[in-house]
Amino acid sequence: MNFKGFLEGLGASDAPLSISNLYILSGISKRETEAFCEAWPRFPVERRRNILRTLVEITEASFEPDFNRIFRFGLSDEDEEVRAQAIEGLWEDESVSILRSLVGLLRGDPSFLVRAKAAAGLGRFVLLAELDELDGELGAEVREVLLYSINNPQEAVEVRRRAVEAISFSGEEGVRKIIEAAYQDEAPKMRVSAIFAMGRSVDPYWGETLLRELKPPDPEMRYEAARACGELELKEAVPTLARLIDDADGEVQGAAIWALGRIGGRGARRVLRACCESDDEILAGAAEEALSELEFAEGIFEIPLYGEEGE
């Protein structure tokens, strides 16, 4: 089948979407890209959404496929869901052209969904600037557009919260105040993002706050607080995290196990080893993975047959 014939079949909404056939779009040539761009607008909108969604799933499962030309074209699609999926698909692209595309989308896209995805996507460029791997002026431009969104009272909460999460990579003065303001915000989702940002900032300043937030009734807050404690490697959190392994919410359990694996130390290892013996296969599997990563990070390649190794 030639590429034109492939595109005709791809756009047929009554035909099943073949994942194996979608790999044909990986690393397509310039000429094939032109043919794709010409055919794409004729595809039904739901078909376009499904194609982009599936391509994103493929890239999340494997690093080998390269659909960047498809995702870049999708940034200008007339449908907001397609544009949002295109941003998701470009999560590894650290090029200046994508940076500028995301800045443009955050500044002017009519869809709050797309603006929120753009704000989240700019987080990796904030990190690159923090690591001195991005031109200083570009880093300043990214922070400026994120700050504008954060401080714009007319902006949707979903966009503002993603901008707070993105800028939390920065060590610039004022970021603590941004996170604190989000933590005090009346919108529950903004407070959730503040907890996430505390962990992402890797700032020990937030330790006491995170310890408190391991206990609220909202499982989403407990989940983010547990993850953030892991990011900060907060040893004081180990006893509470150990209790969260019995949490009624499975995602909170998983976050607690992950955090214990990041924090390490004798107490965390003891808890994780006990979890490995659980009858709950999901919990035991998560604990085994966390323990393996912890022991690799600490240079422990064999579990002693007796006693507990020192911290």
User: Residue 254 sits in which domain range?
Assistant: 205-311
Per-residue pLDDT of the chain (311 residues; tens, 9 = 90+): 689 999 999 998 788 888 889 999 999 999 999 999 999 999 999 999 999 999 999 999 998 999 999 999 999 999 999 999 999 999 999 999 999 999 999 999 999 999 999 999 999 999 999 999 999 999 999 999 999 999 999 999 999 999 999 999 999 989 999 999 999 999 999 999 999 999 999 999 999 999 999 998 999 999 999 999 999 999 999 999 999 999 999 999 999 999 999 999 999 999 999 999 999 999 999 999 999 988 887 775 444 444 444 44
Tell me whether residue 40 is in a domain.
Answer: no
CATH code (residue 257):
1.25.10.10
Tell me whether residue 226 is in a domain.
Answer: yes
Q: Report the alpha-carbon distance of residue 43 to residue 40 in Å, rounded.
A: 5
Tell me whether residue 137 is in a domain.
Answer: no
* Sole residue written with tokens 């939390």: 168
Tell me whether residue 149 is in a domain.
Answer: no
**Helices of type H across the chain:** 3-10, 19-22, 30-39, 45-61, 68-74, 80-89, 96-108, 112-121, 123-130, 136-151, 157-167, 175-183, 188-201, 207-212, 219-231, 238-244, 250-263, 266-276, 281-297
Tell me whether residue 113 is in a domain.
Answer: no
Q: How many domains is the chain partitioned into structurally?
A: 1
Tell me whether residue 81 is in a domain.
Answer: no
Q: Are 80 and 105 in contact (CB under 8 A)?
A: no
Model-wide pTM > 0.85: yes
Tell me whether residue 48 is in a domain.
Answer: no
Tell me whether residue 174 is in a domain.
Answer: no
